[in-house]
Amino acid sequence: MTDPSRRTLALFYCRNVPEAGEADRQAIEAAYGGHIRLFPLPCSGRLEAVHLMRALEEVADAAYVITCPEGACRYFEGNRRARKRVERTREMVAAIGLEPERVGIVIGSREAPKTLAQLAARIYEETSRLGPSPALKRPGTQPPACERRRSWL
């Protein structure tokens, strides 16, 4: 059970980020008590706007992606695509009245590589300052009346 006073971060990440194996993922999620939800990707280029939007709607106060360094993508341009998709998603998020900083990208560094745990900690700290997201479906909240009415049909 997550603590409602703490923020939740959905973090998509490229599997080529240092120390981003399955055991690392489980350790980070356990350390944050479910307040960081990690979604490994074979390549950050797999990320689409809909993934970030769904994360903001259903599970998290912020949704970020961590990519491998520029020029180091195993599939050549995955991290460049991820950056463009994050930019587009930020525009969508801004259009609905949410802070665009709730969506973001962190590009790994070749010179000073950081592990998944280090990057996750930094992003969690920064995004937590934004406070609770008014767009996030909170557990236990009633569905809209129009949704409830549907059950009568």
Task: CB nearer to another protein: give 112 or 142.
Answer: 142
What is the smallest separation between the CB atom of 139 and another protein, expressed in angstroms?
Answer: 14
What is the smallest separation between the CB atom of 61 and another protein, expressed in angstroms?
Answer: 12
Task: CB nearer to another protein: give 9 or 17.
Answer: 9
Nearest Cα neighbor of 57 from 92, 83, 5 is 92
Task: Name the residue type at position 141.
Answer: T
Provide the binding-site residues for another protein, judged by CB under 8 A. 48-50, 53-54, 56-57, 92, 95-98, 134-137, 143-147, 150, 153
| Torsion 48-52-55-58 (CA) sign | negative
Task: CB nearer to another protein: give 97 or 140.
Answer: 97
Nearest Cα neighbor of 36 from 8, 3, 6 is 8
For residue 116 the two structure tokens come to 């998944």
What is the smallest separation between the CB atom of 56 and another protein, expressed in angstroms?
Answer: 7
For residue 77 the two structure tokens come to 């341009």
